[in-house]
Amino acid sequence: MPQLVDSDDTTPLLRDDASSDDSQDEDYKSRWRSIRVMYFTMFLSSVGFTIVITSLWPYLQKIDDSANATFLGWIVAAYSLGQMVASPIFGLWSNYRPRREPLVCSIFINLSANIYYAYAYLPKTNNKVHMLMSRAFVGFGAGNVAVVRSYVAGATSLKERTNAMANMSACQALGFILGPALQAGLSFVGEHGFTVKIIDLQLNMYTAPALLATFFGLINILLVVLVLREHRVDDHGRQIRAINYTSEDRVDINEETEETIDQVAVLTSNALFFIIMFIFAVFETIATPLSMDMFSWTRKEAVLYNGIIICGIGFESILVFLIVKMASQRFGDRPVLLVGLAIIFCGFFILLPWGNQYPKIQWADLKNTSMVSQMSEVTIASNSSLEPTGCPFEQTWCQYTPAINLAQYITSDVLIGVGYPACNVMSYTLYSKILGPKPQGVYMGWLTASGSGARTLGPVFVSQVYTLVGPRWAFSLICGMVLGAIVLLISVYHRFIAFSVRHGRTAD
């Protein structure tokens, strides 16, 4: 059995740490080629989610005029619901069969669902239902992230784990950035585009991104089939022999891992991850309506400015992922997670309204517009550009809740852009270390399902609370949740240790 050298903790993104003659072993190089395929799969998973997200609403309106904003919410949630259902299934599959099988199957479902989405206009009725189903199947295919995470966890040593998880999260963040950018780049095709008659396909700015995601899926399948190999290493990076998935082999693999997993730490990790993903889902959902209410931005301005802010947060996240590597090496994984939660708390606490300035109410715009429209020389111009801005008068809290100023909003964005990625990486890293050398597919499936459930419930929660009682209550409740997460982490802090450390195989 070849002896492998642990990687340096300052591993750059997408490098395989081949820094010595010993590390040139073919198994070692094959292992890191396979891990890079997993990076690419994670990148494409996030691209598949965001590449159509900005065009969902206009595409829905175009193909089915009976659809409303409430149904749009279900379409957005369908992705996360599909992923929540699929993650444990693919995770269980990957525990008992080669990871290539669930990966190829899930990617094929994903690309088929994108084709379904591109043809959602074709049926004569219930087009919105077809659009809903297509997004649910796209999410179902994205359940393979549980397989991706379990593979990377099993193919890296304890020393390599934080770096690999940070690299994978950076690829995921890059996908979230490039997805909307690719959608914007394909907008030149236009709303009407052109028709490919032989396959009855309307190629336009709404269907082209889904078809591009399909092309990416084909490339991904080829990489999984041609490059991916089964690799598992122990906590020190030593290669475990190839797995043939027969009963005899499985006995050999598990014979050294009779010790039990700390189930309290596992459940706590899932709860913390749910809270972290819930909070970020709230942040994503509330950004546009909050900015329109507080800063009197138009719809176009809100989409543009928040798009720029989200893009900036994405690049900030990539930088944080790289810093997290050095911070975890110097201070440990648990302190980084704790500090990340504290930073998120500060980000939402800053958003609490205070002062004696109040948001602009929309009815003032309507009244002024009505007065101006009485002047015949500007009547046409006034009516052609009518879009009420400010806080809707139907939201009664607008009349007594102080306004959030732009400096608060930007500062909060920056802080959350630091805290969330740090918590995200540390959650995966600590969870994989707690689980130890046993196959992690099912456990990673539950972790992914926790995140998907949070992304489903978060938008529903914040939309209801924000609309009914305003940002003061909404952000106070979020601050309370983050404080609860900090208390929970501190209470089980001593249990958040690696499997091998817990059983006395290695020093902490």
Residue 163 parent element (H or E) = helix 158-185
Instruction: Provide the b/e sequence for 374-405 (b: ≥16 CB within 10 Å).
Output: eeeeeeeebeeeeeebbbbeebebbeebbbbe
Equal CATH topology for 24-256 and 262-359+401-508: yes
196-206 pLDDT, tens digit per residue, is 878 888 888 88
Q: How confident is the model at residue 254 (pLDDT cuts 50, 70, 90)?
A: very low
Instruction: Give the global pTM.
Output: 0.71
**pLDDT above 90 for 113:** yes
Whether residue 95 is predicted with pLDDT greater than 90 in this model: the reply is no
Which alpha helices (H) appear in 332-469, and where do they start and end? 333-349, 362-373, 379-384, 406-435, 441-469
Per the CB < 8 A criterion, the answer to whether 433 and 508 are in contact is no
132 Cβ contact partners less than 8 Å away, ≥ 6 residues apart = 71, 74, 75, 78
Q: Where are the domains of the chain?
A: 24-256, 262-359+401-508
φ, ψ of residue 201 in degrees (nearest 5): -115, 130
Neighbours of 318 (CB within 10 A): 18
Rounded to whole angstroms, how far apart are CA atoms 392 and 296?
A: 10
Q: Give the residue from 426, 449, 95, 436 showing the smallest Cα distance to 261.
A: 436
Q: What is the mean pLDDT of the chain?
A: 79
CA proximity to 140, closest of 214, 210, 83, 78: 83
Give the integer Cα–Cα distance in Å for 53 and 74: 13
**pLDDT digit string (tens) for 4-58?**
444 444 444 444 444 444 445 777 888 889 999 999 998 988 888 778 876 777 7
126-135, 367-376, 458-467, range with the lowest pLDDT = 367-376
Q: Contact at 8 Å (CB) between 426 and 333?
A: yes
The DSSP secondary-structure symbol of 207 reads T
Distance from chain centroid for Cα 386: 36
Q: Higher confidence at residue 300 or residue 346?
A: 346
Torsional class of 405: left (φ above 0), alpha (ψ -120 to 50), beta (otherwise) = beta
Terminal alpha carbon distance of the chain: 26
Query: Is the per-residue pLDDT at 237 higher than 70?
Result: no
pLDDT at 299: 67
How large is the angle between the packed helices 406-435 and 441-469, nearest 10 degrees?
Answer: 160
How far is 306 from 317, CA to CA, in rounded Å?
A: 16
Spatial separation of the C-alpha atoms in residues 392 and 114, rounded to whole Å: 37
CATH classification for the domain delimited by 24-256, as one of 1.10.150.120, 1.20.1250.20, 1.10.10.10, 2.60.120.10: 1.20.1250.20
Task: Dump pLDDT digits (tens) for 363-386.
Answer: 654 444 444 444 444 443 444 456
Angle at 476 between CA 471 and CA 477, to 5 degrees: 105
Number of neighbouring beta carbons within 10 Å of residue 356: 6
Range from 241-250, 277-286, 327-336, 367-376 that averages highest in pLDDT: 327-336
For tokens 């600590």, name the residue.
Answer: 430
Quote the pLDDT of residue 248. Answer: 40
Looking at residue 399, its pLDDT comes to 85
Q: What CATH class does 262-359+401-508 carry?
A: mainly alpha
* % of residues, the chain, pLDDT over 70: 82
415 token code pair:
């802080």
Query: What backbone phi and psi angles, to 5 degrees, belong to 239?
Result: -70, 130
Rounded to whole angstroms, the Cα distance separating 270 from 273 reads: 5
Q: How many CB atoms lie within 10 A of CB 94?
A: 27
